[in-house]
Chain A
Amino acid sequence: MSVIYLLISISIFVAVAFFIAFIVAVRSGQYDDDYTPSVRMLFDDEIKPQKEIQTTEEKQN
């Protein structure tokens, strides 16, 4: 038994694992909406000192 059989089977196994992950991701609907998540991830850092930002905006107006 050569080491190449082992290596190739490991590499195929890893590839298949990723492939299965892809299928699961598609099935769960992750690829149905490819826009909203890109916006959503930016919301986590809510801007706390709102007052100041708004007043500067007013001045610009």
Chain B
Amino acid sequence: MSIFVLGKMSKVMDTQNCFHCGLDIIKVEEIVFDEKKFCCNGCKTVYEIFSLNDLGCYYDFEKSPGATPLDISGKYDFLDNESIISKLLEFQEDRTAIVSLSIPHIHCSSCIWILENLQRLQKGISASQVNFPDKTVRITYNPELVSIKTIVYLLSSIGYEPYISLDNYETGTKNIDRSLTYKLGVAFFCFGNIMLLSFPEYFEVNEYWLDTYKPFFRWLIFVISLPAFFYSANGYYISAYKSIKSGMLNIDIPIALGIIVMFVRSTIDIAFNYGSGFFDSLTGLIFFMLLGKMFQIKTYSFLSFERDFKSYFPIAITRVNSDTTEESVPVYDIQKGDRLLIRNQELIPVDGILISGSASIDYSFVTGEAIPITKKSGDKIFAGGKQIGKVIDMEVLHSVSQSYLTQLWSNDVFQKDVEQKHKNITDMISRYFTPILLLIAFSSFMYWIFIDTITAFNVFTSILIVACPCALALTAPFTMGNVLRILGKQKFYLKNALVIEQLAKVDTIVFDKTGTITTNKKSSISYEGISFSEENLIQVKNLLRASNHPLSRMLYDFLPEGKRMKTNDFEEITGKGIQGMIDGKHIKIGSALFVEKSEENDIMQTSVHIMIDGVYFGKYVFNNQYREGLDSLFKILKQNYQIKVLSGDNDGEKTTLRNILPQGTELVFNQKPEQKLEFIKKLQEEGKNVMMVGDGLNDAGALAQSNIGISISENVNVFSPACDAILEANEFQKLHYFLKLSKKAMKTIKMSFAISLFYNVVGLSFAITGNLMPLVAAIIMPLSTITIVSFVTIMSNYYAKRLR
């Protein structure tokens, strides 16, 4: 026991962090260089590169900003292929080429600094610019002096491995839509200038000076209002026209009507010298509404909600030709019968048959399963897995588009235009609002026409102007925009504001099992067999040190710290296990077959068997580790929602799950990706609003089909299938809070609707009696806007705080 205590104590005493990457340093592996401590050679090398090139500043901006560089030899060989390079480049000429690379590790100011100083590390790079929110770096270089492959290797060697996937292959330069910014700019320009120019009119003093120049001011205002009316507001006309055509009364109809009536009446007013017109209110209205639109758009540009298999798959893969030469080919060119070479950490892009070598394939992107599956030659392997270990050979069975996983994308759900999946809350209100408004307008017109024709027209237009539901239309964007930001701060990233409404409506929640309610970061490990002596345990741990197999790493982390011993005759037999001599003892760790223990062949569990000096001791069993706070989350959710759990796995863990989950939770096992999709569809046909929580590519269909698909991600920068929202895995237990908050957001919107309707009634009372002065309109409009905006912001922040 004493060794254990010592081991633990020593660990506590030197909790030192690596100077480069900030990870804890294991004492025995510590490397001291230049008076600084590093956790591994990789980190030290990066430090060396930086200090040699006078780039030590890297460590001044942020503490331990780096990442350990990974071994990637061979991974980017496809960058020798001219046709692939030309697809990646943004711009190419004899001496200049520009490439944008996505680098997920970008996270602090040190990253920006080092990546913008690349020209000091590599000749031929002339400039590099980081876009931090996008996590991309744009490199300008001279292709005669340096190749893109060299640049990629340079980046990888300093811990900034770029992420190049099939996605990059198809999209050339992206077109960014900036029209809303332009519109907002134009509207603000018009609004500001008109406000200034209308000031004299607000104080209608009969003064010679003002009277003389009235026409000049008024026509100038008219001219300035034109761009706002014709350009900035055109989105409302188009939307109103579309909604009339489709027979749906949305909120844009009264808005467009209000704007047009306001413009026409104001023009008539100044043309016949009836008054000064409502140009100030008109442009202000357009400006505020565009501002609301802008506020609602909160994008997380470093995330993508549209990912399909293309973001996961590599651009190119090594093909072995019949004359045994190797060649990088784009994955789309792979045909049935080709032979491919898959290296360590490479993704298998197509279905095929394993020819040589023994593969250990990590399907965590697909299923969320953490533990790799071992395949022997002759076995069928599916696209989407990642090879871990040695190089393997495979023969292609299906091309990319026909592989098992990619076929899922030919399903209709992925083709559907998701734009108009449902009506939003504002449109629901406007279904009543618009007809009532028109009714009031026409009846007052009919009333006044018998008294005075001119007043009748005045009243009619005033009603449409004052009822223009500016505040109503601003309510939802500002509430949603604010909640979107609150959620984003808590690592719950929504695709757009509409998702909040959907969240509030959910009544059924379907969870994927593996990778969603279990974590693929950790496994719970239990031991079955004869108990070890401490000595043996340390020997086993020392043997495991030498192995890179994921199971070895997990078991190594699980076993207690001990002193380090020398291993002799170490041997790793892929797909079987490891063996070696420690302290004169021969230790074998591996599969049941490897330790000559052939009793049970239990496929339900993953286990590692131990044998020392020919004596079988026992096995370590790896179980899925459920996420923290899972049972309490499910208990709360159960009160308000129907919960179902879907799994692609066999029902080996049925009893465990039954114990954790509350009574009455439906559990469905052995579900293929299409079956998951169908399951959701069936629930929807029963009239349920389904929220799907999943993680891997195999959930992609279900996520797309559900009313709201949430993807759980351990690393939001890299992998998450197409979905409506991305939730960072360690915030999983907050799910209930997010659902509650979205409900409160909807409540806030409803309250604020009441307030804005009240403003409308006040405005209408002015309008119906024929007393609407431009000044009154100019006061009511901004006043209502400001109260609404501050009300919804305060309320949503209050709820966000109180619920927590």
Please name the residue on chain A nearest to B55 by beta carbon. Answer: A46
Cα-based distance from A2 to B217 in the complex (angstroms)? 13
Chain B residue nearest in CB terms to A57: B63
What 0/1 pattern do residues 219 to 236 of B give for CB contact below 8 A with A? 010001000000000000
Q: How many residues of B contact A (CB 8 A)?
A: 31
In the complex, the answer to whether B185 meets A19 with C-beta atoms within 8 Å is: yes
Whether a CB of chain A sits under 8 angstroms from the CB of B182 is yes
Q: Is the interface of A mostly helix, strand, loop or mixed?
A: helix
Interface residues of A in 43-57 (CB under 8 A from B): 43, 46-47, 50, 53-55, 57
Give the tally of cross-chain contacts (CB within 8 A).
67
Interface flag for A10 (CB, 8 Å) = no
What class of interface size applies to chain A in its complex with B?
20 to 34
At the interface, yes or no: B131 with Cβ under 8 Å from chain A? yes
Assess A32 versus B60: contact at CB under 8 Å? Given A15-B189, A26-B181, A40-B112: no
Q: Which of A2, A27, A32, A39 has the most CB of B within 10 A?
A: A39
Contacts of B192 in A (CB 8 A): 15
Interface residues of A in 5-61 (CB under 8 A from B): 5, 8, 12, 15, 19, 22-23, 26-27, 29, 31-36, 39-40, 42-43, 46-47, 50, 53-55, 57-58, 61
Residues of A contacting B134 in the complex (Cβ-Cβ under 8 angstroms): 33
| Contact A33-B185, Cβ < 8 Å, known A40-B112, A46-B57, A53-B60 | no
Whether A47 touches B60, Cβ cut-off 8 Å, given contacts A33-B131, A39-B109, is yes
Contact between B132 and A22 (Cβ–Cβ < 8 Å)? no
Contacting residue for B112 out of A2, A19, A36, A61, CB 8 A = A36
Q: Does B454 contact A (CB under 8 A)?
A: no
Q: Would A39 and B131 count as touching, CB distance under 8 A?
A: no
Distance, CA A23 to CA B433, complexed state (A):
37
Contact (Cβ within 8 A) B133 A35 = yes
Using A36-B112, A43-B116, A54-B59 as known contacts, say yes or no to A22 and B185 having CB atoms under 8 A apart.
yes
Q: What is the CA–CA distance of A12 and B197 in the complex, to the nearest angstrom?
A: 11
Given contacts A27-B178, A33-B131, A39-B132, contact A47 B189 (CB under 8 A): no
**A57 vs B36: C-alpha distance in the bound complex, in angstroms?**
11
Q: In the bound complex, do residue A5 and residue B216 qualify as a contact, i.e. CB atoms below 8 Å apart?
A: yes
Q: Which of B115-155 contact A (CB under 8 A)?
A: 116, 129-134
C-alpha spacing A49/B464, complex, angstroms? 69
CB distance from A8 to the nearest CB of B (A): 7
Closest Cβ of chain B to A3, distance in Å, is 11
Knowing A32-B131, A40-B112, the reply to whether A8 touches B182 (Cβ < 8 A) is no
Complex formed: what's the CA distance from A58 to B63 in Å? 11
Instruction: Please name the residue on chain B nearest to A46 by beta carbon.
Output: B57
Minimum-distance CB pairs A-B, first 5: A36-B132, A33-B131, A35-B132, A39-B109, A19-B189
Selected A-B contacts with CB under 8 Å, 8 pairs: A4-B213, A31-B181, A32-B131, A34-B133, A36-B133, A40-B116, A53-B60, A57-B63
